[in-house]
Amino acid sequence: MKRYQIVLLALLLLIVPPAARSLWFYQGVYQRGQAVATPAYSNYQIPAPPVADSQASSPAVDQPVVQSSSESSVTVLVDAGHSNLFSLSEIQPFTDAIGRSGGKVIVASSTDASLLDYRSADAYLVIAPSKGFSADEIAAVKRLVEQGGRLVVMADPTRNGGTSQYSADVGPMNAVSVANQLLESFGLGFSDDYLYNLVQNEANFRNILLTDFASSPVTDGLDEVVFYSALSLSAAPTALVRGDDNTLSSLTDQGGNLIAAGMDASGRVIAIGDMTFTTEPYDQIAGNTRLVNNLAKFLVEGTRERTLADFPYVFQQPVEFLLPDGAEVDPAKTSALGLIHASLGSGAGSLKIASKPETGFDLVIPATYTEAQGKALGELLKVYGLEYTDGGTKEDSDSLYPAMSSAEVEQMFKALKTAQAEGTLDTMLQSLPAQSGGGTAAGQSGQTSDAWLGTINVPGFGNVQANGNGLILLNRGKERTTLAMLASSTSALQELADMVRSGDMSNCAIQEQTAVCPLTPQANASGSGY
Amino acid sequence: MTEVIEIMKKWKIKDVLVFLIPLAIGLIVAAFIPRPVIGVISLNDAISSGTAQEMINEIAYARAHPEIRAVVLVLNSPGGTVTDTEAVYLELTRLRESKPVVTMIGSMAASGAYYLTVGTDYAFAEPSSMVGNVGVIGYTPDYPVVVDDIYSTGPYKLWGEPRDQFMREIEMLKQGFIQAVVLGRGDALKVDKEVILRGQIWTGVDAVRMGLIDELGSQSQAIDKAAQMAHIAHYSVVDLGDVTSSFAAGTEPDFFQKTSDGVITPYPARQGLYMLYIPATEEIQ
């Protein structure tokens, strides 16, 4: 065996075992084709919000907030009586904008009071209510809108019921369904969903950028707004704000023509599927400030034409009472004046009596039918088209008081005002024996008021017997609103005024601006009926 | 034959040693060639600081030991904190530079666990495995207020960050997540990013169709695949949790909220940022 053969064989014996073992286990070498790529974390940036539309925000923000109730004639009622899932401080940018636009914000915090509040409201703002509206409330809101008032209803998918940090008294209902109770009669409705956009959004898929606006004063000047979680509208006669094709509904994960804000056919009701854009700091994003300002203007620009049913919220100016020179003033009439004044509420200010109508004041004329036919008032009351058929007079058996001097009248008013302020008005009035049906002796004090017992032809009602009926007549003139309250005698007038003050005019027949109210008739009346 | 015998008769001891010594050396050298190992790293819990550290230790072990030629990551997890998820993900990418890593999804690889999945070379799941839930979630910080008894040097010293900042941060972290998915799945991905970012959970069957994972299969198939990728045969399988000296902290005991009667809920106990699947319950709805 040659030497090289020996070496070769030895080498083979050396190599074969490790080679064999290697091949047994390892059949190749792992080599990565491409380097492992990882996200370029350092390049990522926190998404910045769209720049606020400075032109939209500056002019309005620079204006002072009008908070004084005396300077604001438009009352915007903010609902807080339906376990609403928001706090007033949250929407301060919105309430400030309402103030700047000339509106007065009144918060309706209890459902019981809200029926009265609706009468006072020129506009109504409802945000995320979770306690249902009663049929009466819905009717009152509908009436507000029909009379020209404005309604804005906001819902929000993040404020849709369940436990709440805003109120311990959380209603059992889903806020969307409660809001829809109110919106149904206006052809509007929310879907119980939320909108999202995964393609283009404001820092989060649920913060949607909206650029599709219908032409409307509410959308005037808007290029882009951002809604921070919004519901879509299931029905809207006018779509004010729409999402783009990539804006999808959580209910269907489908998009296209989804409506984020809509308006009813009358143009007086707006439903918006978001409320966050009215809160800080989100009101400062993109065109949100302008939208907030536009909405505030929308609320205060409605002109509500009230009827008698809205008494005492029928006046736009300070009110004065007309007592023409020579008018009969006895305590019953004074009491009537006090009662009517009390019924106007605390906003009416101090009682003012004038002998002639003055510019800048609305007018209340409390008078007997006899006075109404007289020269002093006849001309003023002509506008109501009343026609009188004489039926004679009868001594007012209820009236016990002598005529009063003006100083005595003033003193009586002061006493009434004090009693009203102290909450003892009812007690004081009960102490006056002049209430109808008092059954006191006639002529006890000498002078008495005669009750006119004829018949009055009231437009829209026909002939109304004067005895046992009072009339409340409202007229809206260019200069002033005039409210006339007429009855057969001062004691009947007092009874009529008491009925008005109680707020219960349910016994009256009310037709737009005229009401006929039943009063206690004079005993042994001799007047003709109808 | 007789000729060979004749030659051998002529050999002396010296001549025999000439062959025996190389053979012995060869055998000794061969004995030092290690049997290849496929390391298994298991995650059967949320990704918290404890489980993440345990995984990182096991990854480090795999990287440091050449006989470990591939790693199979077995996931049964709803995800966890963003930070811990990213920490494990980045360690996995380092390991993949030298060794293939294959994922086997058991019952669930949701959110952060799916983040880890896309950080591996190949992914298996069972047909009914829950896969996906891509995204970031967290509790919004409270509105900052001044607390009478606490003094700090800045308005967010106590509260961490403004609420708005929080919202924007999770969006940024989401970008990292989706980028990891796109990079990790590459051309295999068959759906748009927007579909993935919906945060939906899919079954293993759907996940394969969408390209979120590669194949339906079992853990043994995942091991075979790892071996194939590492070009090894006759390997052994070692649970790296058993061989590492990690302290095996496991999930923090207070990671999830507990009810008053001690039942663990799916909600994280602490405020923060999570890549975690939190099933919506009545409490959230």
**Amino acid of residue A100:** R
Interface of B with A in 93-122 (CB under 8 A): 93-94, 96-100
Best mean pLDDT range from A82-91, A264-273, A301-310, A466-475: A264-273
List all residues of chain A from 36 to 95 with a beta carbon under 8 Å from chain B: 36-41, 44-48
Q: Do A14 and B22 touch (CB under 8 A)?
A: yes
Chain A interface, best mutation among B69, B118, B231, by max A CB count within 10 A: B231
Q: What is the crossing angle of helices B163-185 and B82-96, to 10°?
A: 20
Q: How far is A41 from chain B (nearest CA, A)?
A: 6
Candidate ranges A35-39, A395-399, B140-144; pick with highest mean pLDDT: A35-39
In angstroms, what CA-CA distances link A381 with A373, A470, A489, B149? 9, 15, 17, 71
* pLDDT at residue number A425: 60
- B164 vs A contacts (CB less than 8 Å): 281
**Distance from the first to the final alpha carbon of chain B:** 90
Given a contact cutoff of 8 angstroms between Cβ atoms, the answer to whether B104 and B222 are in contact is yes
**Do A108 and A268 form a contact (C-beta atoms < 8 A)?**
no
Q: What is the pLDDT of residue A62?
A: 44
Which pLDDT score, from 0 to 100, does residue B265 have? 85
CA distance A205 to A491: 70
Contact A198 B232 (CB under 8 A): no
- The confidence band for B186, taking pLDDT boundaries of 50, 70 and 90, is very high
Q: Specify the DSSP class assigned to residue A17.
A: H
Partner-chain contact B18 A6, CB within 8 Å: yes
- Cβ-defined contact of A13 to B100 (cutoff 8 Å): no
pLDDT at A500: 80
How far off is chain B from A12, nearest CA to CA, in Å? 8
As a whole number, the mean pLDDT across chain A is 82
Written as one string, the DSSP assignment of chain B is -HHHHHHHHH--HHHHHHHHHHHHHHHHHHHHSPPPEEEEEEE-S-B-HHHHHHHHHHHHHHHH-TTEEEEEEEEEE-EEEHHHHHHHHHHHHHHHTTS-EEEEEEEEEETHHHHHHTTSSEEEE-TT-EEE--S-EEPPPPPP---TT---SSTTTTT-S-HHHHHHHHHHHHHHHHHHHHHHHGGG--S-HHHHTT--EEEHHHHHHHTSSSEE--HHHHHHHHHHHHTB-S-EEEEHHHHS------S-TTSEEE-TTSPEEEEESS-SEEEE-----TTT-
Strand partners, B256: B268
Three-state secondary structure of A43-97: HCCCCCCCCCCHHHHHHHHHCCCCCCCCCCCEEEEEECCCCCCCCCCCCHHHHHH
pTM for the whole structure: 0.78
Task: Name which of A9, A199, A281 is nearest B194 (Cβ-Cβ).
Answer: A199
Determine the residue among B14, B115, B194, B237 to mutate to test chain A binding: the one whose Cβ has the most chain A Cβ atoms within 10 Å: B194
The verdict on a CB contact (< 8 Å) between A14 and B25 is yes
How far, in Å, CA of A484 to CA of B248, rounded?
90
Residue A35, pLDDT above cutoff 70: yes
A8 near B CB under 8 A? no
B164 in A contact zone (CB under 8 Å): yes
What's the mean pLDDT in A409-431?
A: 63
The mean pLDDT value for A462-469 works out to: 88
* Range among A3-7, A26-30, B78-82, B167-171 with highest mean pLDDT value: B78-82
- Predicted confidence at residue A117, as pLDDT, reads 73
Pairing of strands A509-511, A514-518: antiparallel
Please judge whether B176 and A44 are an interchain contact, meaning their C-beta atoms are less than 8 angstroms apart: yes
The CA distance from A90 to the nearest CA of chain B, in Å, is: 12
Q: Which has the higher per-residue pLDDT, B267 or A292? A: A292
- Other CB atoms within 10 A of residue B201 CB: 20
Decide if A20 touches B, using CB distance below 8 A: yes
Cβ–Cβ below 8 Å for A198 and B194 = yes
Q: Residue A95 pLDDT more than 60?
A: yes
Question: Quick check: A47 and B22 CB within 8 A?
Answer: no
Considering only residues A33 and B62, tell me which one the structure prediction assigns the higher pLDDT: B62
pLDDT for the residue numbered A430:
56
Chain A CB contacts of B8 under 8 Å are none
- For testing the chain A interface, which of B16, B134, B171 should be mutated: the one with the most A CBs within 10 Å? B171
Shortest distance, CA B14 to any CA of chain A (angstroms): 12
Q: And the tokens for B278?
A: 């939190």
The pLDDT confidence band at residue B17, using thresholds 50, 70 and 90, is confident
> CB contact, 8 Å: B175 with chain A?
yes
* The pLDDT of residue A113: 55
Most confident among A219-223, A414-418, A491-495, A505-509 (mean pLDDT):
A219-223
Rounded to a whole number, what is the distance in Å from the CA of B2 to chain A's nearest CA? 15
Q: b/e per residue, A405-430, with b = 16+ CB within 10 A?
A: eeeebeebbeebbebbeeeebeebbe
- pLDDT value at residue A468: 87
Write out pLDDT tens, residues A161-213.
Answer: 754 444 444 455 789 999 999 999 999 999 999 999 999 999 999 999 999 99
What integer is the mean pLDDT of B120-128? 97
Q: How confident is the model at residue B90, as a pLDDT? A: 96
Listed in sequence order, the residues at least 6 apart from A193 whose beta carbon sits closer than 8 Å to its beta carbon are A157, A231, A232, A249, A250, A251, A252
CB pairs < 8 Å spanning A and B: 114
| Cross-chain residue pair B183–A15, CB shorter than 8 Å | no
Q: Is A4 on the interface with B (CB under 8 A)?
A: no
Mean pLDDT value across residues B16-43 = 92
- For chain B, what percent of residues have pLDDT higher than 90? 67
Name every chain B residue with its beta carbon within 8 A of the beta carbon of A9: 19
Q: What is the pLDDT, as a whole number, of residue A237?
A: 95
pLDDT band at residue A69 using 50, 70 and 90 as cut-offs: very low
Residue A403 is classified by DSSP as -
pLDDT for res B82 = 96
Which of B71, B99, B168, B282 has the most A C-beta neighbours within 10 Å, making it the best mutation to test the interface with A?
Answer: B168
What does the pLDDT look like over B59-112, one tens digit per residue? 999 999 999 999 999 999 999 999 999 999 999 999 999 999 999 999 999 999
Q: Which of A292-306, A307-321, A446-460, B130-144 has the lowest mean pLDDT?
A: A446-460
The partner residue sitting opposite B93, judged by closest CB among A27, A29, A38, is A38
Give the nearest chain A residue to B198 (CA atoms): A198
- Nearest alpha carbon to residue A394 among A464, A456, A449: A449
Share of chain B above pLDDT 70, in %: 95
